[in-house]
């Protein structure tokens, strides 16, 4: 199941203001998931757990030029850069995201509206990261090849996203990839690049990247909140009409993703690749 870059841009142009108004991280400008990892004691900390992993990697590697791949409305890049002398770049294919990020960050970062699979990226950079954006890349091979041109040797690519569990294929054949919940997640969230880790590792290796860190964060997610159960009921009632509303389609995808994570069809992983040339 493949979607064009314009489909993903339209998805965010239509849904972002609702995400910010009704999502639990909306007040902070965060539209990715809370991760209740080690040392987290508050919801605010949970939304910044992945950001803090990135900050630790940046500090350890002395990275000075940071690229956010799919920068949302700028909250992740803002937090990652805070208190550092690093230079920030953000890219998005959504006009709404680009506008909101520029307003949020001002001169803190350079923001570009482009397709991160095909358009030249800002570079060279020492670290590029994507939080819940890789899965929406229209072409995983083109995405990683494009980033390889921007990341310096010795630099890093960090992907925190959903991956198919186990060794299931990514072509709609046997196993998890053919499950109804997986199909609904892909359709609802415009997820063209939902792949298993081994497939991504192989593509990365072909482009000079070596996997150096892999964390499964699935157990740290909240998958049975009352609002999630209520959403499941809403989807059961409105599924026949989901294609008529961008918001309903997004709910359909979110509910399906929750089922995928609970059933072990998909895992939420934090994965770091080093550019070894």
Q: What is the pLDDT of residue 176?
A: 63
3-class state of residue 10 by DSSP: helix
DSSP 8-state secondary structure symbol assigned to residue 176 = G
> How many other CB atoms are found less than 10 A from the CB of residue 122?
19
Q: Which residue has the higher pLDDT, 268 or 238?
A: 268
Closest of 31, 70, 92 to residue 254, by C-alpha: 31
Tokens standing for residue 124: 């060279």
Give the span between the Cα atoms of 274 and 277, in whole angstroms. Answer: 9
Of the candidates 226, 222, 245, the residue with the CA atom closest to the CA atom of residue 32: 222
pLDDT digits (tens, 9 = 90+) for 166-193: 754 444 444 565 698 999 999 999 999 9
Mean pLDDT taken over the chain: 91
pLDDT digits (tens, 9 = 90+) for 71-124: 999 999 999 999 999 999 999 999 999 999 999 999 999 999 999 999 999 999
Phi (first) and psi of residue 40, to 5 degrees:
-80, 130
Q: What is the pLDDT of residues 190-217, one digit of tens each?
A: 999 999 999 999 999 999 999 999 999 9
Mean pLDDT of 16-40: 91
Residues 6+ apart with CB under 8 A from 45: 39
Q: Which residue has the tokens 């995405």?
A: 143
Structure-model confidence comparison of residues 18 and 136, the more confident one: 136
pTM, full prediction: 0.92
The domain 5-175+194-226+266-275 having CATH identifier 3.40.50.150: the answer here is yes
Pick the closest to residue 126 from 74, 66, 82, 83 (CA basis): 66
pLDDT of residue 1: 80
Residue that has been written with the tokens 């049975």 in this structure: 224
CB-CB contact of 63 with 151 (8 Å): no
Q: Tokens at residue 169, please?
A: 């294929």
State pLDDT tens for residues 241-264: 556 566 778 888 999 999 999 999
Burial class (CB in 10 A: 0-12, 13-18, 19+), 7: middle
Say what the pLDDT of residue 24 is: 81
The 3-state DSSP class for residue 110 equals strand
- H-type alpha helices, the chain: 5-22, 43-61, 75-81, 95-105, 140-148, 180-189, 197-206, 226-238, 246-262
């Amino acid at each position: 199941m493949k979607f064009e870059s314009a489909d993903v841009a339209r998805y965010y142009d239509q849904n972002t203001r609702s995400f910010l108004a009704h999502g639990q991280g909306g007040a902070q400008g965060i539209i990715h998931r809370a991760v209740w990892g080690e040392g987290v004691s508050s919801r605010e900390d949970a939304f910044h757990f992945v950001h803090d992993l990135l900050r630790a990697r940046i500090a350890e590697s002395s990275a000075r030029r940071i690229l956010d791949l799919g920068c949302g409305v700028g909250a992740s890049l803002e937090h990652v850069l805070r208190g550092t002398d690093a230079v920030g770049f953000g890219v998005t294919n959504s006009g709404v995201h680009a506008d909101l990020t520029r307003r949020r960050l001002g001169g803190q970062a350079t923001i570009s509206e482009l397709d991160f699979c095909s358009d030249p990226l800002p570079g060279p950079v020492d670290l590029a990261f994507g939080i819940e954006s890789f899965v929406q890349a229209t072409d995983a091979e083109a995405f990683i090849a494009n980033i390889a041109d921007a990341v310096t040797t010795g630099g890093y690519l960090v992907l925190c996203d959903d991956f198919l569990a186990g060794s299931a294929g990514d072509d709609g054949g046997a196993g998890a990839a053919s499950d109804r919940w997986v199909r609904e997640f892909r359709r609802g969230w415009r997820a063209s690049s939902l792949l298993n880790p081994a497939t991504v590792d192989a593509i990365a290796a072909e482009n000079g990247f070596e996997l150096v860190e892999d964390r499964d964060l699935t157990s740290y997610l909240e998958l049975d909140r009352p609002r999630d159960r209520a959403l499941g009921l809403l989807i059961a009632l409105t599924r026949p009409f989901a294609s008529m509303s961008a918001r309903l389609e997004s709910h359909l995808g979110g509910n399906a993703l929750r089922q995928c994570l609970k059933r072990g069809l998909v895992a939420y992983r934090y994965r770091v690749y080093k550019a070894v040339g």
